[in-house]
Homo-oligomer: A and B are copies of this chain.
Amino acid sequence: MKTETTIQGLSASLNPARASRKIIGFVPTMGNLHEGHLNLVREARKLCDVVVVSIFVNPIQFGPNEDFDNYPRTLEQDSHLLAEVGCDIVFAPSVEQMYGHQPRLTNISVAEITNDLCGLQRPGHFDGVAVVVTKLFNIVQPNYAFFGQKDYQQLAVIKQLVRDLNMPIDVIGVPITRAADGLALSSRNGYLSEQDRKTAPTIYKTLKLAEENLQKGQNLSDVLVQIRADLTAAGFEVDYVEARTPMLQKIDQFDQDVVLFVAAKLGKTRLIDNLQIKHSS
């Protein structure tokens, strides 16, 4: 496995693969890798000849009061894990390498689907994601790119971006990887106190209970109220509990496939999760 820290170095490493028309798979990450990321790499490994993983904590997708400075940077450990799951090239550029010294004047925004859920609490976040992902796509020029369904809204934004701009890339969404107790894996789980870590799986439990109640015929809005009540009772500060179609349109009734979304804080740590529920019509 090679590690490249410059765009030029990465291009040099990828050129032989490009010349021989190999299938390039790309997994963009911010590092501090867990099994969720490694499952993305395993998926890429199945479909592609060459697997590139980027590790870049992207400053422009963090708000002024968010955790950019403290976001865990664990490149050495990440590299060991990536080598084990068959990554070919790690791309770990500096902020300077990605954004240079000249001011960036270009912005990319994806309307509507970024307006609510995490977009409400994190203004500019998805613009920052759209810009960095576009940059990375242009640098790596992959055939396939892999994103986790845990960041469901982010995945929807990337799919929309790729479609709207005719990017020659297939975007693959990979199901959420969960701990044995149901907690969706996330780098931010590492911020949780021991006590909060024990509380955190309540999110998934409430989502699974909601699924059961929906299948039993309970009203969608009642189910959402129940999730919020259960999380609040468990000690969460709830940011949102929402239901959407798989394409993120608002939905009032469980009369088609639905995705339930939760964002909630335990202490200072904001956790998100979602559950896709099939409608048996």
Name the CB-closest residue of B to A7: B166
Q: Are B107 and A109 in contact (CB under 8 A)?
A: yes
Number of interface residues of A (CB under 8 A): 30
Specify which chain B residues have a CB less than 8 angstroms from the CB of A102 in the assembled complex.
163
Name the CB-closest residue of B to A141: B168
Contact of A106 among B105, B110, B135, B138 (CB under 8 A): B110
Complexed CA–CA distance, A160 and B103 (Å): 10
Q: Are A166 and B135 in contact (CB under 8 A)?
A: yes
Specify which chain B residues have a CB less than 8 angstroms from the CB of A161 in the assembled complex.
106
Specify which chain B residues have a CB less than 8 angstroms from the CB of A141 in the assembled complex.
168
Q: Given A166-B7, A168-B141, is A108 in contact with B108 using a C-beta cutoff of 8 Å?
A: yes
0/1 interface trace, chain A 154-169, chain B, CB 8 Å (1 if under) = 0000001101111110
A233 touches B (CB below 8 Å): no
A104 touches B (CB below 8 Å): yes
Complexed CA–CA distance, A112 and B105 (Å): 7
A134 touches B (CB below 8 Å): yes
A180 touches B (CB below 8 Å): no
Copies of the protein in its oligomer = 2
Specify which chain B residues have a CB less than 8 angstroms from the CB of A130 in the assembled complex.
106
Specify which chain B residues have a CB less than 8 angstroms from the CB of A108 in the assembled complex.
106-108, 165
0/1 interface trace, chain A 111-142, chain B, CB 8 Å (1 if under) = 11100000000000000001100110011010
Complexed CA–CA distance, A99 and B90 (Å): 35
A21 touches B (CB below 8 Å): yes
Q: Are B112 and A168 in contact (CB under 8 A)?
A: no
Complexed CA–CA distance, A7 and B7 (Å): 29
Specify which chain B residues have a CB less than 8 angstroms from the CB of A100 in the assembled complex.
163
0/1 interface trace, chain A 1-37, chain B, CB 8 Å (1 if under) = 0000001000000000001010000000000000000
Q: Are B106 and A165 in contact (CB under 8 A)?
A: yes
0/1 interface trace, chain A 88-104, chain B, CB 8 Å (1 if under) = 00000000000010101
Q: Are A109 and B106 in contact (CB under 8 A)?
A: yes
Q: Given A19-B21, A21-B19, is A106 in contact with B167 using a C-beta cutoff of 8 Å?
A: no
Q: Are B138 and A168 in contact (CB under 8 A)?
A: yes
Specify which chain B residues have a CB less than 8 angstroms from the CB of A166 in the assembled complex.
7, 135, 138-139
Can you list 19 pairs linking A and B with CB atoms under 8 Å apart? A100-B163, A102-B163, A104-B164, A105-B111, A105-B113, A105-B164, A106-B108, A106-B160, A106-B164, A107-B108, A107-B111, A108-B108, A108-B165, A134-B165, A135-B164, A135-B166, A138-B165, A138-B166, A139-B166
Q: Known contacts A106-B160, A107-B111, A141-B168; can you find 17 more A-B pairs with CB under 8 A?
A: A19-B21, A100-B163, A102-B163, A105-B110, A105-B112, A105-B160, A105-B164, A106-B109, A106-B110, A106-B130, A107-B108, A108-B108, A108-B165, A109-B109, A131-B164, A135-B164, A138-B165
